């Protein structure tokens, strides 16, 4: 591990953490925190009701140790649900339950790549992708999306090297909320097939927000377009229970090294100390696996927030998923703009944390009137900047 490079990746994350904590201490209950996606209201109470019922009915054996990879009945139900969504014949063994999507990503990268492999990261991307790769000694290339934040296949082709062995994308995009359509996924798959010698490169599809499409826009699965795909899912994100840390990895039934990959993933869970999610949250995931979250409230909140921002001259990116809004900063320095907002008690995330500059992300954590107050302050500071 290169200590200097590691420090360069950690420093902006830690600086924002300090800004976040300092702002919360300074403003207390008056702070309007739209940074980390921690909603302060229930969009859909069903998972909380199910969790309460499961806890009330739990017997000692219901809370026993779970095998690495998760309980077989849970994996079977998750596989069946994902088979319907992806149109692929997942078996129970293709699913590895993980303590959140973060662990799923780390385990996948640790299991299936080794130096001198290079990984392409499509940016903007989730903040910790490069950190994991750097820590594992894996080289990576950051490849920007197009102006409207869709996959730039030509840019990926130019960044490809003889050592490139994988690509990581988010579907829908995080932090942007952009949904990659079938055409661009097909183009990406065609590019990766052209580089299938000596071995096919792997695609890691981060679908942590796949169940947060708040309108009727189709959200095609990358695994349905490219066979050598591992999919990351987050039940916590889907049900606004992020802190319960419940996710999974799904190995495509058409992956050429399917059985070896599954064995490596489960072994890596043990080696890295990543146990499966708690017994109770695995049961919750199984119970809810066939149920879609009610996103009516989120859709209304998205529409309301967008109109409020437009009134102030702030134009958010046109998207269809996640509880995020993504907009350009009025100044090139996104960290300076977010610090300016923090001075007034409003917390948003600078896009530099997501490995591009000049944008900021809003998480819709409040309903009105708190959200309106925050958006009005953002509008005022936007004009002032």
Q: What is the pLDDT of residue 2?
A: 73
Do 281 and 306 fall within a single domain?
no
pLDDT at 106 (0 to 100)? 96
Q: In what order do the strands lie in the sheet with 324-328?
A: 324-328, 359-363, 349-350
Based on the domain organization, do 322 and 213 belong to the same domain?
A: no
pLDDT digits (tens, 9 = 90+) for 317-373: 999 999 999 999 999 999 999 999 999 999 999 999 999 999 999 999 999 999 999
Amino acid 5: pLDDT = 81
CA distance 241 to 259: 32
Query: Which pLDDT belongs to residue 271?
Result: 95
In this structure, the answer to whether residues 121 and 234 fall within a common structural domain is yes
Residue 306's domain is classified under what CATH number? 3.90.1150.10
Query: What is the model's pLDDT at position 197?
Result: 86
Q: pLDDT at residue 42 above 90? A: no
- Do 254 and 136 have their domain in common? yes
Q: Is 133 a member of any domain?
A: yes
Residue pointed to by tokens 């927030």: 305
Q: For 9-22, how does the pLDDT look when each residue is reduced to its tens digit (9 = 90+)?
A: 999 999 999 999 99
166 or 61: which leads in pLDDT: 166
Are residues 238 and 302 both part of a single domain? no
Q: Is the pLDDT confidence value at 316 over 60?
A: yes
**Contact by Cβ (8 Å): 175, 351:** yes
- The tally of domains found in the chain comes to 2
Residue 56 lies in a domain: no
On whether both 16 and 148 belong to a single domain, the answer is no
**What pTM value is reported for the model?**
0.96
Question: What does the DSSP 8-state code read for residue 61?
Answer: G
Please state the rounded mean pLDDT for residues 68-90: 97
Residue spans of beta strands (DSSP E) within 118-196: 118-123, 139-144, 164-170
Q: Is the pLDDT of residue 3 over 80?
A: no
Q: What is the predicted pLDDT for the residue at 364?
A: 97
- Tell whether 235 and 373 lie within a shared domain: no
Shared domain check, 299 and 376: yes
Q: The domain containing residue 142 runs over which residues?
A: 64-288
What is the reported pLDDT for 6? 83
Average pLDDT over residues 144-165: 98
Residue 369 confidence (pLDDT): 95
Residues 25 and 81 in one domain: no
In terms of domains, do 121 and 143 share one?
yes
| Residue 354 near residue 124, CB atoms below 8 Å | yes
Whether residue 136 is found in the same domain as residue 158: yes
Mean pLDDT of 287-315: 95
Model pLDDT for residues 93-126, shown as the tens digit of each residue: 999 999 999 999 999 999 999 999 999 999 999 9
Mean pLDDT of 283-297: 94
Whether the link from the prior residue into 169 is cis, omega within 30° of 0, is no
Assign 133 a pLDDT band (cuts: 50, 70, 90).
Answer: very high
229 domain residue, yes or no: yes
pLDDT at 1: 57
């Amino acid at each position: 591990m290169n200590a200097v490079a590691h420090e360069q990746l950690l420093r902006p994350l830690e600086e924002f953490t300090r800004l976040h904590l300092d702002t919360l201490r300074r403003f207390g209950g008056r702070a309007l925190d739209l940074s980390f996606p921690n909603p302060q209201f229930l969009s859909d109470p069903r998972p909380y009701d199910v969790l309460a019922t499961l806890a009330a009915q739990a017997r000692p054996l219901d809370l026993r140790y779970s095998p690495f990879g998760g309980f077989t009945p849970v994996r079977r139900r998750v596989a069946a649900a994902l088979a319907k969504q992806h149109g692929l014949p997942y078996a129970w063994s293709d699913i590895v339950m993980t303590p959140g999507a973060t662990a799923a990503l780390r385990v996948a990268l640790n299991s299936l790549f080794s130096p001198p492999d290079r990984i392409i990261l499509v940016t903007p991307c989730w903040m910790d992708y490069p950190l994991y790769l750097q820590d594992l000694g894996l080289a990576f290339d950051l490849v920007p999306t197009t102006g409207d934040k869709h996959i730039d296949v030509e840019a990926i082709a130019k960044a490809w090297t003889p050592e490139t062995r994988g690509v990581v994308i988010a579907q829908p995009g995080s932090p942007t909320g952009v949904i990659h359509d079938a055409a661009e996924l097909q183009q990406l798959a065609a590019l990766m097939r052209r580089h299938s010698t000596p071995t096919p490169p792997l695609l890691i599809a981060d679908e942590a927000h796949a169940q947060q499409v708040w309108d009727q826009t189709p959200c095609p699965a990358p695994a349905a377009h490219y066979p050598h795909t591992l999919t990351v899912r987050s039940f916590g994100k889907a049900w606004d229970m992020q802190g319960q840390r419940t996710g999974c990895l799904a190995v495509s039934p058409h992956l050429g090294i399917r059985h070896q990959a599954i064995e490596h993933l489960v072994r890596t869970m043990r080696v890295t100390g990543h146990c499966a999610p708690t017994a109770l949250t695995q049961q919750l995931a199984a119970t809810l696996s066939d149920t879609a979250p009610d996103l009516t409230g989120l859709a209304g909140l998205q529409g309301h927030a967008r109109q409020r921002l437009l009134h102030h001259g702030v134009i958010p990116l046109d998207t269809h998923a996640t509880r995020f809004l993504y907009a350009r900063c009025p100044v090139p320095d996104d960290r300076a703009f977010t610090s300016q907002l923090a001075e007034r008690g409003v917390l948003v995330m600078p896009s530099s944390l997501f490995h591009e500059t000049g944008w900021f992300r809003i998480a819709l954590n409040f309903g009105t009137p708190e959200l309106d107050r925050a958006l009005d302050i953002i509008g005022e500071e936007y004009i002032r900047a």
